[in-house]
Structure 1
Amino acid sequence: MKYAPRRVYIKESDGYAELSYQDFCRRRQTDQSYMDKLFIPVQGCLLEVVREQYTDFYRDKERWRYLKKLDANHKLLSLEGFTDSEGNVLDFIVDEAVDVAEIVVHAVMVDRLKAALPLLSDGEQALVKAIFFEELYEREVGLRLGVTQSVVNKRKAKILAKLRKIIENKI
């Protein structure tokens, strides 16, 4: 026997009658009208339904079977596969767009730069602040300081070389 439900519910005029599966099988053998009845499985039981409900149920069931087959053929993943036994969502999909090593190196370099900036003179710190933190153009910084843009550019290059040397020596 492929499927043995716990109970079978038969439609009667005032509702449903509950039978054991063995009683149902006996009645089916003795009463031909039981052969024409349509049933759908519901929570381990068989429930008698009208033809329209029966066809809708098995059409939907076949549709789900077809969709699962398509998913398998196209190697789609179910969201159910990304939960643990308690239903909590698992976070194990690697985001390849984020390079953790690069983030760590960047954080270390920022820390070294923060430690190196106070080692500069006040004038050098003011120039770094204006160009890199206030995001002013070299020309604007030159107007502030009363020098040309090329002088600001040369000072910036010297300061960056000095910072590079300080940071490299801290390695």
Structure 2
Amino acid sequence: MEEKKEYRIKVQGQLIPVTEEVYLTYYRMKRRELHLEEKDTAHGVFYYSAMDTEEINGEDAIPDRTSPRLEDMVMDKLVAEKLHQCLAQLTKEEQELIFTLFFQNKSEHQVSRETGIAQKTIHNRKVRVLARLKKLIEK
């Protein structure tokens, strides 16, 4: 009489009886995993988890490319502050023109229709105010 072979796999330190199909699938997966690790080693693949310590997760060392950099945020804030200081030095009419065109996103034609001032005049004023702002910012 043919003796039936028992198949076991080690799970959390204990040998668990399984079917032949489960046994073969498990060890194919194990071999595949080992093969991929060997391939990674041969190609110099580095895993951030290799840098794990009790205090630090190695994946935390991966830079976040989607979030703005701190340096950029600081520069944006400084530029915005400088711009507001320079805007405060403009006359009331110049401030209103800049606010309407750039903060309310109205076109020169819209401003012209609302104020009754020719579009070309609005354009010339805008160019003059922007040139003045540029000089103030560059000081």
TM-score (norm 1): 0.60
Alignment partner of 1:59 out of 5, 15, 28: 28
Q: 1:75 and 1:154, CA in 2 relative to 1: closer, same or farther beyond 3 A?
A: farther
Within-5 A mapping of 1:1-150: 38-72=7-41, 80=49, 84-85=53-54, 88=57, 90-95=60-65, 101-150=71-120
User: Comparing both structures, which one devotes a greater share of its residues to helix?
Assistant: 2
- Name which of structure 1's ranges 110-119 and 44-53 shifts more when overlaid on structure 2: 44-53
Determine if contact 1:84/1:90 at 8 Å carries over to the other structure.
no
* AA matched with 1:145: T
Q: Which has the higher strand share?
A: 1
State percent identity of aligned pairs.
Answer: 28
- TM superposition shift of 1:129: 1.0
CA RMSD, Structure 1 to Structure 2 (Å): 3.4
Any stretches of 5+ residues in structure 1 without a counterpart? 1-32
Between the two proteins, the alignment pairs up a number of residues equal to 135
TM-score (norm 2): 0.71
Select which of 163, 166, 170 maps to 2:133: 163
| Runs of 4+ with >6 A deviation | none
Structure of larger gyration radius: 1
CA distance in 1, matches of 2:73, 2:18: 62
